[in-house]
Amino acid sequence: MKLNKKWMIITTLICLLPIFAGLAVYGKLPEQVPTHFSFDGTPNGWSSKAVAVFGMPCFMAAINLLLYFGLNADPKKKNMGEAMVKISLGVVPVLSVLMSGMTLVNALGYNTNIETVIPLLMGVLFILIGNYLPKTKQSYTMGIKLPWTLNSEENWNRTHRMAGFLWVAGGVVFVAVSLLKICNVWIFAGILAVMVLIPTVYSYLLYKKGI
């Protein structure tokens, strides 16, 4: 499976699209633009408008290229499911447009409800990934890459079946707390901890059983 270079070019260009929107409103932007927000939507980090307009899209484009080359260089890339590859390569451009767009809109004085939108989209992403995790085969760049899952195909399959359920459940909780506007750092960290630690421990216990 060789990843399509046209897809790489298209997704990278999408990552850079917010630059044109930034240039269109550049004169209206304040010199310092809020680029980081707390869980209640309060700005707690600022950057120059040049960094906000050019820096974030270029950074996301670089991440997109690294992801593309990483996936394409995987010795087990023939095992990577088409759906998971498309999700992985589609996430970065969407995030670039969304994050840069919301940053510009906030800088212009409009409310984007970022404290609701970001957790909501994360929840949807986790649900999508969770649905496809059980179908993911062994690779070095896709899935839950632990010493025990990479050592045993059976361990990999069982861990991903269980993790798929957890990630869908975690995504549903993320959607719920975002809509209820009760997401905070503790809820965020707690959900992620469950989604990461339980599959890790489960995989290790399977390994100790010889699986």
Helix (H, G, I), strand (E, B) or coil at 146: coil
Q: What is the CA radius of gyration of the chain?
A: 19
Residue 85's pLDDT is 80
pLDDT tens across 17-63, in order?
Answer: 999 999 999 999 999 998 888 777 788 888 899 999 999 999 999 99
176 has a pLDDT exceeding 80 = yes
Please write the tens of the pLDDT for every residue from 141-170.
Answer: 888 999 999 999 999 999 999 999 999 999
- Report the percent of the chain where pLDDT is more than 90: 49
At residue 3, the pLDDT reads: 63
Rounded distance, CA 17 to CA 99, Å?
12
Least confidently predicted of 4-8, 24-28, 165-169, 198-202: 4-8
- Residue-wise pLDDT for 112-124, tens only, equals 888 888 888 889 9
Name residue 36's beta-bridge partners: 45
Q: Are strands 32-37 and 43-48 parallel, antiparallel or unpaired?
A: antiparallel
The Cα–Cα gap between 148 and 205 comes to 9
pLDDT for the residue numbered 89: 82
Q: Is the pTM for the entire model greater than 0.85?
A: no
Residue 2's pLDDT band (boundaries 50, 70, 90)?
low
Tell how far CA 110 is from the center of its chain.
25
